[in-house]
Amino acid sequence: MATTGRRSIRENTRSCFEDEASERTRGVVLKAAKESFGAIVDAAEQDVRKNVSCLLIDAFLIFAGEMAKKMQVPWVTLWVPAPYLLAAHVYIDVISELLCESSGGGTSTDDDDKSRGVIPGLSMMRISDLPNEIIDDQDTSRIACLLREMGRVIPICATAVVMNSYAKVNPTPLIADLKSKFKMLLQAGCLTVSFPLSPLPSSSASDTTGCLTWLDARDPRSVVYICFGTVAMLSPSEVLALGESFGVY
């Protein structure tokens, strides 16, 4: 028991130091990004002998808004994650109020129930489902502070928001509310899809694992596809737990 306790203390202490180091790193990176971006814009204008007429940049880099205002050009932000997350950032003050109402500032079942219907289009989500970066204390987390500022600045200052999404794949209330929050909302479709699409190979030609053959035998709309991106690697125990949660054994 004592050994386990000491190990937990060491792990928790190491985690705290890693979090602090990550916060400092983020601050340095963002400061350098702002300075580098400005220098690159200046160099590009001198190279082509033309002035930049618009800034199209990731929504996370909100310093571009100040730059665009100084340059007197439109500021167009690019939102790559899901629209749901953008709505959460826009409604961050509402979410914070719900968190403050709970005892100790944490989330509870009651708070999760309150969140249903408060944010249009997010009635199926709970506050506890949101990433920690959104609900963390902005006084202790640089990234949480930055995300809060992003959610407040973009609706006011951005000329347009371009989303990496299709209109028809998102709930109508969600998109309608986002349109009401921004000066202009453009849904550009999936930016990572190449056009025209190449034809899919036949199952027999490329199905080395048998997955496609198995999928072909399933009924329409009976299979759930879960993607964790290109970085996350689940351990066998995590894959098993995920399957068990869906009743797959």
Please state, in angstroms and as integers, the Cα–Cα distance from residue 158 to each residue in 14, 15, 208, 231, following that order. 40, 36, 48, 30
d(CA 88, CA 169): 18
pLDDT score of 8: 40
pLDDT score of 107: 46
The tokens for 243 are 């399957």
Q: Is 42 exposed, middle or buried (0-12, 13-18, 19+ CB in 10 A)?
A: exposed
φ, ψ (nearest 5 deg) of residue 54: -165, 145
One pLDDT digit (tens) per residue for the chain, 249 residues: 333 333 443 344 334 334 555 555 556 666 777 778 888 888 989 999 999 999 999 998 888 999 999 999 999 999 988 888 898 888 888 877 777 766 454 445 555 555 556 777 777 777 777 777 776 665 666 777 788 889 899 999 999 999 988 888 888 888 999 999 999 999 988 776 656 666 666 656 667 778 888 888 999 888 877 777 666 677 888 888 887 877 765
DSSP 162: E
Task: Give which of 158, 175, 151 is closest to 78, Cα–Cα.
Answer: 158
pLDDT score of 183: 95
Q: Please check whether residue 65 is in contact with residue 158, taking contact to mean a CB–CB distance below 8 angstroms.
A: yes
